[in-house]
Amino acid sequence: MTHSKSMATGDVIASSTAAIGGLGLRVAYKKDFNLTESESQQLMACVCYGFEQSCHVGDAVDIEVEIEQLGDNNYKELWYSNSPVQTGKSGSISYRYNDDVLFGCWRPAVATSNLRSETDKAYKELREFLSTSSHPYLLRAWNYMPLINEEEEGLERYRQFCLGRHDALLRDGEHMEAGLPAASALGSGGRGLVMYFISTRLPGTSVENPRQVSAYRYPEQYGPKSPSFSRAMLAGDSAKSDLFISGTASIKGHETRHAGDVKAQLEETVTNINALIKQGDCGPKEIAGLSLLKIYLRRASDYSQIHELMTEIAPNVPTLYLRADICREDLLLEIEGLYLSSN
């Protein structure tokens, strides 16, 4: 975890903690820490990126993602509620929730090697769970899978993942484009699919990028079924909304731009994020006004250059850098972001 200019003293990046308007959440990146009794009661989830970190923190939903942190590392991503939360489990889904928002993780007892069937199982179980939940609206999903660019049964594994997700999200024979969440899908070093999510009591609003073809309308050259996600989602009311930005890359229309040039890909990606921020129209004017960023790099050797560039682009935004494979082999980086209206 790095802050583009100044670091807070101690093991907390102070400016990475903020309330999410209307949803009763806070998020923070921390290293070593001790929770107060109140914090323990309000902790919803702990996400660990790495290979040796323990993610077990009280009763929180613990999520381990086996991808390397770059730069200043060993941070945990903690999601809190502003009020005490309750704990639940349904099949392979563990979750914590308050009145407005639910944070959950799908974790099978045994991982399977067939990514399409595992994804179909995960999203069908999630859909069934949400259909009876008091928080039925899927707002944000994160997906991590091993060997994302390798071939499986004659098709790239990312495309197998898209098939499984698409089939599971069909409703009455139709794909529900308006209800698709913001999402990220990255390659990991783990043994199987890791999927965690946020759902809400009230529906969010999808945001698309005028510079890009919507992912769910990609032509067949990218696979038999298009990726099932929105470019971003707004949550909250008209007076105070928060923006959840999906994993975003150097794509214009539906085509990759600047293959092999990580600096140019960064610039194109930032342009796309700025376009989404403008469409969301919820507070910030550009990427430098966001509350949090997460940057995935295909090549760890690009970290120093990208970190230096981001110091100029978004100097005050807490940013986590991770080494991960991207959904297209010609993409060298992907960025996801979050704007917290109460920050």
Write out the catalytic residue numbers.
334
Instruction: Answer yes or no: are the C-beta atoms of 79 and 96 closer than 8 Å.
Output: no
Q: Classify residue 207 as left (phi > 0), alpha (psi -120 to 50) or beta.
A: beta
Distance separating alpha carbons of residues 278 and 198, to the nearest angstrom? 23
Strand, coil or helix: what is 93? strand
Instruction: Answer yes or no: are the C-beta atoms of 310 and 297 closer than 8 Å.
Output: no
Distance separating alpha carbons of residues 37 and 280, to the nearest angstrom? 37
Q: Which residues contact 70 (CB under 8 A, 6 or more apart)?
A: 297, 300, 303, 321, 322, 323
**Phi, psi for 215 (deg, rounded to 5):** -55, -35
Instruction: Answer yes or no: are the C-beta atoms of 157 and 149 closer than 8 Å.
Output: yes
Q: Write 7-14 long-range contacts (CB < 8 A, 24+).
A: 7/72, 13/75, 13/318
Instruction: Answer yes or no: are the C-beta atoms of 185 and 336 closer than 8 Å.
Output: no
How many Cβ atoms from other residues are within 10 Å of residue 95's Cβ?
24
